[in-house]
């Protein structure tokens, strides 16, 4: 009887959760590569998964691929070295720079928070950087029997989806595609998510697999918030993620000022050191952006404008509280789980003229979620804080594809035999699974569980 060489995939994160993305793909010849090694982020129960034993022998990995620089995809990479990993970690050039910023910031934050357990320190993060290698979109990289080609996922700067071919497999599954995180195309800054023509199997995100994004225009919602504080003399506080969301906000405000829709003298304070570093990196890669942004780089910087002030030093944050008149403060973290936004929240939430504008996903058991759901008394640094301000939010700035966009992207791929839904909670991915079967006629759809290994 002839022996058939199959690929195998092991799901080591984001299997039933949105975060913790990680997979090991093993070729027909037995060589293995790692795809992503992200942090689990969310409730205490989910966060505890970061400290569970990693269920794969990392000494057997021939190399690794990183799809993009969000912590839920890159945040555990430094644990590879103590586990005996000796290969290279491949990514796009802009992802390399953003990942270095993300991991150093994460290590410093863990030290500041004085957690009883930390995954890694800055020294280990810097050792990991020595393993980083870069490749451009559409330029294949060979690791063992695998040929990997990255395409633009349109999610954040440098984000990639992966086309992987196993030259040693002699089963019907030879080509597998990993979506990474697919962008909400078309969006304000980036090019549209690239399409894939064919694949035998697809591993696909499902974060918004059960819903459609609202039809509202995000710049209109932001305009309304800024005009409100310009009339009242209050403060607009915007908690924002450092990667992509902050740059998107800055670009929108640039246009609102340029078009005279908000007052030129209204000060905009960016109070997030990581976002400052990330924006500098965004400035270095103009050709990755869509045509609109590329044209703006020719005559202007799309992320700067009159009235923008960067707050680099932490001691200057409190100075803003004594600054009179209307103002906008953009600060991290995006879910209000740490960072400088907490100091501002403690000061401004009790003030009736304050407006809090939430522009991103808020995880369960986070301060941002509690405020979005209408809590009138919250705790910040163990101190009760009354909420007398106006709380608004928009879902139009999501950087993830919604159900319709996910289905359209998958529909374009020909010859698909198997689909695996990850990077989503069970509700959204169950809904997406049903839609895939009903609308696309693909019936072999799997929702893997943590540490499950499947032969392809």
- How does pLDDT run along the chain (456 residues), one tens digit per residue? 345 689 999 999 999 999 999 999 999 999 999 999 999 988 888 889 999 999 999 999 999 999 999 999 999 999 999 999 999 999 999 999 999 999 999 998 877 665 567 899 999 999 999 999 999 999 999 999 999 999 999 999 999 999 999 988 888 899 999 999 999 998 899 999 999 999 999 999 999 999 998 888 889 999 999 999 999 999 999 999 999 999 999 999 999 999 999 999 999 999 999 999 999 999 999 999 999 999 999 888 999 999 999 998 888 999 999 999 999 999 998 999 888 999 999 999 999 999 999 998 887 788 999 999 999 999 999 999 999 999 999 988 889 999 999 999 999 999 999 999 999 999 999 999 999 999 999 999 999 999 999 999
From 239, 365, 378, 256, select the one nearest 307 (Cα to Cα): 256
User: Distance between CA 308 and CA 257 in Å, rounded?
Assistant: 11
Residues 222-261 as b or e (16 or more Cβ within 10 Å = b): bbebbbbbbeeebbbbbbbbbbbbbbbbbbbbbbbbeeee
> Is residue 246 helix, strand or coil?
helix
Contact 193, 153 (CB under 8 A): yes
Distance, in Å, from the CA atom of 79 to the CA atom of 125, rounded to the nearest integer, reads: 9
**Which tokens is 281 given?**
């990196």
Structure tokens at 311: 């707050």
pLDDT at 2: 47
Residue with the two structure tokens 């199997």: 201
Which pLDDT belongs to residue 116?
60
Q: Cβ(45)–Cβ(184) under 8 Å?
A: no
- This prediction has a pTM of 0.94
Give the pairing type, strands 235-239 and 355-358.
parallel
Provide the pairing of β-strand 32-37 with 61-65.
Answer: parallel
The burial of 113, by beta-carbon neighbours within 10 Å (0-12 exposed, 13-18 middle, 19 or more buried), is given as: exposed
**Residue 400 to residue 420: CA distance in whole angstroms:** 18
Buried b (16+ CB within 10 A) or exposed e, 174-203: bbbbbbbbbbbbebbbbbebbebeebbbbb
Amino acid 215: pLDDT = 81
Beta strand residue intervals within 30-137, DSSP E = 32-37, 61-65, 89-91, 132-134
Query: What distance in Å separates the CA atoms of residue 349 and residue 6, rounded to the nearest whole number?
Result: 57
- CB neighbour list of residue 226: distance below 8 Å, 6 or more residues apart: 236, 253, 256, 262, 266, 328
* Span between the terminal Cα atoms of the chain, in Å: 19
Q: How far apart are CA 30 and CA 6, in angstroms?
A: 9
Beta strands in 38-185 (DSSP E): 61-65, 89-91, 132-134, 141-143, 146-152, 160-166, 175-178
Q: Is the dihedral of CA 272, 274, 279, 280 positive or negative?
A: positive
pLDDT at site 337 = 87
């Amino acid at each position: 009887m002839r022996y058939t060489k199959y690929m195998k995939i092991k799901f080591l994160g984001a299997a039933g959760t949105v975060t913790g993305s990680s997979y090991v793909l093993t070729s027909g010849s037995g060589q293995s590569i790692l795809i992503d090694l992200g942090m689990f982020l969310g409730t205490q129960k989910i966060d505890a998964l970061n400290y569970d034993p990693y269920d794969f022998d990392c000494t057997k990995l021939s190399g690794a691929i990183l799809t993009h620089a969000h912590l839920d995809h890159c945040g555990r990479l430094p644990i590879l070295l103590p586990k005996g990993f000796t290969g290279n970690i491949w990514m796009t050039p802009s992802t390399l720079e953003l990942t270095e910023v993300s991991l150093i910031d994460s290590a410093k934050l863990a030290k500041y928070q004085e957690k009883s357990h930390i995954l890694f320190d800055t020294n280990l993060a810097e050792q990991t950087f020595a393993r980083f290698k870069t490749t451009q979109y559409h330029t294949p990289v060979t690791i063992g029997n695998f040929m990997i080609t990255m395409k633009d996922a349109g999610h954040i700067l440098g984000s990639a989806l992966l086309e992987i071919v196993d030259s040693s497999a002699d089963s019907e599954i030879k080509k597998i595609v990993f979506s990474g995180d697919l962008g909400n195309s078309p969006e304000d800054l980036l090019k549209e998510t690239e399409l894939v023509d064919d694949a035998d199997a697809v591993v696909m995100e499902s974060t918004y697999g059960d819903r459609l994004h609202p039809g509202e225009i995000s710049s209109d919602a932001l305009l309304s918030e800024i005009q409100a504080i310009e009339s009242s003399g209050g403060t607009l506080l915007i908690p924002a993620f450092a990667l992509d969301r902050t740059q998107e906000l800055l670009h929108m405000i640039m246009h609102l000022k340029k078009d005279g829709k908000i007052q030129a003298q209204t000060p905009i304070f960016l109070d997030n050191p990581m976002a400052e570093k990330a924006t500098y990196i965004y400035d270095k890669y103009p050709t990755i952006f869509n045509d609109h942004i590329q044209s703006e780089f020719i005559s202007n910087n799309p992320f700067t404008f009159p009235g923008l002030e960067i707050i680099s030093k932490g001691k200057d944050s409190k100075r803003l509280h004594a600054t009179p008149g209307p103002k906008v403060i953009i600060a991290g973290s995006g879910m209000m789980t740490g960072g400088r936004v907490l100091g501002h929240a403690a000061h401004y939430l009790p003030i009736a003229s304050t407006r809090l504008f939430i522009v991103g996903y808020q995880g369960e058991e986070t301060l941002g979620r509690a405020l979005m759901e209408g809590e009138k008394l919250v705790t910040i640094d163990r101190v009760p804080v009354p909420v007398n301000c106006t709380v608004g939010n928009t879902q139009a700035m999501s950087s993830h594809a919604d159900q319709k966009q996910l289905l359209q992207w998958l529909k374009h791929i020909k010859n698909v035999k198997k689909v695996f839904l990850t990077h989503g909670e069970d509700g959204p991915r169950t809904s997406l699974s049903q839609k895939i079967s009903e609308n696309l006629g693909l019936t072999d759809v799997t929702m893997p569980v943590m540490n499950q290994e499947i032969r392809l």
